A and B are shown apart, each in its own frame.
Chain A
Amino acid sequence: MGKKKSVVLIVLATIVLAALLFMSVTPAIPIGGTPDRLESFLSTADLGTDLGGGFRTVYYPEGVISQPEYALIESQYAEAEAAGDTAGLEDPADYVRVGGVYLAAELCEDGAPTQEFQDDFAAALRGVKQRFENKGYAGYSVKVRDGYSIEVCIPYPEEVDGTQGETPGTVFDTFSYAGGLYFSGSAITDTKGLDAWTKDDVKGAGVADAGDSGYAVVLHFTSQGREKMATLTSQMVTDEQTTLYVYVGTNQALAIGGISAEMDESTLYVTGNFGTRAAAQTVAALIDSVLDEENVFDIGLTYSQVYTFAPTLGEHAALAVAVSVGALFAVLLAVALILYKGMGLAHVYGFLTYILLFVLCIALLGGIVIDMAGVLAIVLSAAVMTSFNWYAFRNIRTEFSTGKTLTAAIKSGYKKSLALTIDAHIVLAAAALAVYLIATGPARIAGLIFLIGTLLSAACTLAVTRFFLYVFLAQPKNKIAFCSFRREEAEDED
């Protein structure tokens, strides 16, 4: 490569890298004269509950109230009683104290909850727990509070303020639906006499990218379910009903319009107002949970308030972790420069490209949430990238020491490290893919982050760093000294 060409490339690469890195990691900057702020790519990344906090609510089953609610009823009733008019007010005597909550008297027998209520609550707990597990949150918790209420903490949903995204209220509402799964050509107000669809009919629900329509909920039918759907839609056509409704209990989960012919397919894609994958995933998680009759519950669940909470690892944990990891990366790059000089410089550019691409992927790809498991995945993938760059440099050094020219040493050093680099990246990519496809929650997201990191590491090790090495080597007069190599000159005496 010519010197001029090399200078142009170095200047261009430096400007582009510096500008994009600045846009990627700097804090938000206010745009003069407008209320808007320029957000860095990194600041748009979604965080798990440990680094970003989230939302919390408490579900109360129908007929169960909290201590403060009971205290309010009690004081209002006492005031009304003193005034001699208790009409229309709830009588605190209608409630029985059980554990830390108050149960409507009809739910109790001899001061204890009836077996039927206990069974209903146990089913509701199972169902709610399953729904939040299915949702695959990076960090969430479900706890039984005071014996008969359910406390749930979730991370900030994607695009809380987005019109097509989902609010925490949407998630908490959707996951409180009681009842089984029903398909109908008309609205369902009572499920009595209706047959719920179970896993014998529907294998499961998932999410698919629907292009311009956003995202779709995908329902996979069994052969029995396929037959039932064909019968139902054929009946709908006869009755001139054009909208197929999917209900959980008496709550509408999905609606499929434009039914004009019998549907005899094993997979049904339902697009709707799902602007984000997360929104579609919530409905899919709900449907998936009610396919197992064990998770179907009949008692209504209500919540009065949604609260926000700070990151569980501390208010500024995300910033502290980002700064620490960034500082360690900087130390690593300095070590590379000291150890390998010119080759270290190529590594610096290769590594910065890798970091930049990583930040862009995290910011732009949906479904990536950074929590501590994700941070570990990022650090491990950076270690993989650095290891294989350094491995190639050591091989180049060894080849050079055998007497080869620098160009031949670089060529043969890279050739020597190619097999192991490819082997390790294939193994790691396959392992990360397996974790992403099988695991759920933080482990699944860590698998996805590591998969992205491994692919970027492969590209940056095998191509980007090598390219920068060639570009930089066009500059110095003494290329051997630039690479920190020394050749022992054997003087020929003759």
Chain B
Amino acid sequence: MKIKLLSKKILVALWALSLAIIVAGAFVVGFVGFNAAPDASDAASVEVSGYMSQGGLRENIEAFCADKLAADGYTVREINHYESYSFMDDVLEFVLAGDPAADMREYAAGLQTALDASGIQGLDTAAVTVSGNNAVAAPAYTYVWRTAVAVGVVAVVLFVYVAVRFRLGMGLLSLAALAHDVLLTLALAALLRIPAGMTLAGVAVFAALLSAFLQTGVFGRMRSDIRAAEKEGGKNALPARDAVALSLQTGAKGALAAVVGLAAVCVVLAAVGLFTGIGLTFFALAALVAAAVCGYSALALSPAAFACIKEKSDARRAEKAKYNYASEKKRAKTAKDAPAAEEAAEAEAE
């Protein structure tokens, strides 16, 4: 299999596409926000609380209330069960879809009446109360900005190490790729309306670390391959694009296997989430997006961009070699030093 690098035009088009997606994602986040996950979203709810631990009573109350809410046209987004830590009380929270500011107090009073008249066996009507509530999530700003700063520092660490240890161009591209990967992951999560809570920051960190791993792996391999080819080839070294493509051809397998393995984990977790809780599916989908974006950038965008940089630097080097500035300088210096050297020789002879 022969790998063909992206042409300059396609590369520019893909960077532009990524930029467009990031900008679109930023607009969506700015104007509509992320699709908030249940733990981070505002919602109206109906809460049934009190003594209901007796065998099967809670399940009966839950079924009755869920049926009543459905019959009255409400969509229950999730049912949460809270058990008192020190008493015998339970709470059943029916979180409703739709207007989070909806006033459910009147409805709760009606539901209380219906529950009292329901005749559910074992229900002590005086011990169970129904209330209508509204919850507004308080955003964790410190958490978000500190995670953002941490990702920024990861980018700088990657840039410094790769630029110093490998090549400056590789360092710059690693930095750009990491920013691209994290921002594109977040933008796609916003555009695809993947429910996002605090865990999305975890996915962003995952994207940053995965990007650092793939970029280091691909560029590290490329650097040693190119260096070896230059040593062996001398003047007959391969052109930049061919050298990068050849290195990618042998070195991409490892990175690709890692991305495929991680994507497989995400797919399996997404499937598991369908049975345990849909939140896991959404989290795994966000992670899958991160893995795909990082793989695409490390295996397609970065090598092609590096080939362009290398082409230019090779051309500049060739240009320098052609005019042999170094030799001219040397010659000029030798010419300048010549009279002094002659004088010294004469003096020595005398």
Q: Do A and B actually bind?
A: yes
Which A residues are within 8 Å of any B CB, using their own CB? Answer: 49-50, 55-56, 66-68, 71, 99-100, 125, 129-130, 133-134, 139-147, 151, 153, 168-169, 305-317, 320-321, 324-325, 327-328, 332, 371-374, 376-377, 379-380, 383-384, 386-387, 390-391, 394, 419-420, 423-424, 426-428, 430-432, 434-435, 437-443, 446-447, 450
User: Are B254 and A307 in touch, CB under 8 angstroms?
Assistant: no
CA distance A376 to B205 in the complex (A): 10
Q: Which residue of A lies closest to B78 (CB)?
A: A312
Instruction: Chain B residues near A426: list those with CB within 8 A.
Output: 161
User: Are B85 and A306 in touch, CB under 8 angstroms?
Assistant: yes
| B54-62, B232-240, B275-283, B324-332 - interface stretch | B275-283
9 other A-B residue contacts (CB within 8 Å) besides A309-B83, A427-B158: A100-B131, A100-B132, A306-B85, A308-B83, A308-B85, A312-B39, A313-B279, A420-B217, A443-B205
User: Are A376 and B203 in touch, CB under 8 angstroms?
Assistant: yes
Q: List 6 A-B contacts (CB under 8 A).
A: A307-B83, A313-B276, A324-B269, A419-B220, A441-B147, A442-B199
| B14 part of interface (Cβ distance < 8 Å) | no
Instruction: Chain B residues near A376: list those with CB within 8 A.
Output: 202-203, 206, 287
Query: Which listed residue (A130, A168, A314, A435) contacts B154, Cβ 8 A?
Result: A435
Q: Which residue of B lies closest to A315 (CB)?
A: B276
User: Are A314 and B146 in touch, CB under 8 angstroms?
Assistant: no
User: Are B205 and A144 in touch, CB under 8 angstroms?
Assistant: no
Query: Which listed residue (B216, B262, B276) contacts A380, Cβ 8 A?
Result: B262
Interchain nearest-CB distance for A68 vs B (Å): 4
Given contacts A67-B129, A67-B131, A100-B105, contact A424 B216 (CB under 8 A): yes
CA distance A67 to B108 in the complex (A): 10
CA distance A237 to B273 in the complex (A): 63
Interface residue total, chain B, C-beta cutoff 8 A: 80
| B133 part of interface (Cβ distance < 8 Å) | yes
User: Are A420 and B224 in touch, CB under 8 angstroms?
Assistant: yes
CA distance A309 to B277 in the complex (A): 14
Interchain nearest-CB distance for B155 vs A (Å): 9
Given contacts A133-B142, A434-B157, contact A324 B272 (CB under 8 A): yes
CA distance A443 to B151 in the complex (A): 10
Interchain nearest-CB distance for B43 vs A (Å): 9
| B169 part of interface (Cβ distance < 8 Å) | no
CA distance A416 to B63 in the complex (A): 65
Which B residues are within 8 Å of any A CB, using their own CB? Answer: 38-40, 49-50, 80-87, 89, 91, 105, 108, 129, 131-138, 140, 142-143, 146-147, 149-151, 153-154, 157-158, 161-162, 165, 197-199, 201-206, 208-210, 212-213, 216-217, 220-221, 224, 253-255, 257-258, 261-262, 264-265, 268-269, 272-273, 275-277, 279-280, 283, 287
Instruction: Chain B residues near A308: list those with CB within 8 A.
Output: 82-85
CA distance A314 to B202 in the complex (A): 19
Given contacts A133-B143, A423-B161, A431-B158, contact A446 B205 (CB under 8 A): yes
Interchain nearest-CB distance for A98 vs B (Å): 11
User: Are B280 and A428 in touch, CB under 8 angstroms?
Assistant: no
User: Are A317 and B276 in touch, CB under 8 angstroms?
Assistant: yes
Instruction: Chain B residues near A313: list those with CB within 8 A.
Output: 273, 276-277, 279-280, 283
Interchain nearest-CB distance for A222 vs B (Å): 21
Interchain nearest-CB distance for B29 vs A (Å): 18
Interchain nearest-CB distance for B42 vs A (Å): 8
Instruction: Chain A residues near B105: list those with CB within 8 A.
Output: 67, 100
User: Are B161 and A383 in touch, CB under 8 angstroms?
Assistant: no
User: Are B269 and A430 in touch, CB under 8 angstroms?
Assistant: no
User: Are A314 and B82 in touch, CB under 8 angstroms?
Assistant: no
User: Are A427 and B212 in touch, CB under 8 angstroms?
Assistant: yes
Query: Which listed residue (A55, A377, A384, A443) contacts B85, Cβ 8 A?
Result: A55
Interchain nearest-CB distance for B202 vs A (Å): 3
Q: Which residue of B lies closest to A308 (CB)?
A: B83
Interchain nearest-CB distance for B129 vs A (Å): 4
